[in-house]
Amino acid sequence: MTYTHAHTHTPTDLDKSSNIGLKQWLVGHHNSYEHEVTGETIHVYAIAGPPVYSDGDSDRIDFDIELPLWGVTWVLKGYVIKSTLEIDAAFSVKVPIIGSFQLAQVKGNLQDGVKVTFGVSILHGDARFYYSAGWIYVDLSATVFGKVYGPLTIKLIPLPF
């Protein structure tokens, strides 16, 4: 059997091919911190802002958040209305080699918290998304590849921008 793969870029390639460079881009789109309870390093990658074609004074914030954790990458992609803290987002998981699976639709008020339960063949669990002290958080518990993780409270993105 013959395997082929797409060309992968090294950080040096990316630095040369863009005006801002990978390191500078990550400064604004990556947050890492040591979790106060578990001591593990949490990495959150996010792109967020008003809709591209809005007038610039939008109350809506679109976001795409990726959280590599426990052997998979958790993804939250959607929007939040700043004034009401209403969220509408798809919660999914990316599994290396296998692909992506949508786990749940996250819809409701972040002030009250929005809880979802999810399950696909290789993982199951629950997540609660909420707003506190200027940040969107998730409390995540899951069994991934048969191993139990969490509950873990994770800071995702700050609001308002």
Place of tokens 């008020």: 109
Q: Is 146 helix (H, G, I), strand (E, B) or coil?
A: coil
Residue 47: which of 60, 63, 61 has the closest Cα? 63
Give residue limits of the domains in the chain. Answer: 34-51+58-158
Q: Residue 16's beta-bridge partner residues?
A: none
- The model's pLDDT over 46-89, given as tens digits with 9 standing for 90+, comes to 988 888 887 767 899 999 999 999 999 999 999 999 999 999 99
Cα–Cα dist 116/105, whole Å = 8
With left for phi above 0 and alpha for psi between -120 and 50, is residue 133 left, alpha or beta? left
Looking at residue 20, its pLDDT comes to 66
Tokens at 143, concatenated: 């069994």
Q: What percent of the chain has pLDDT over 70?
A: 86
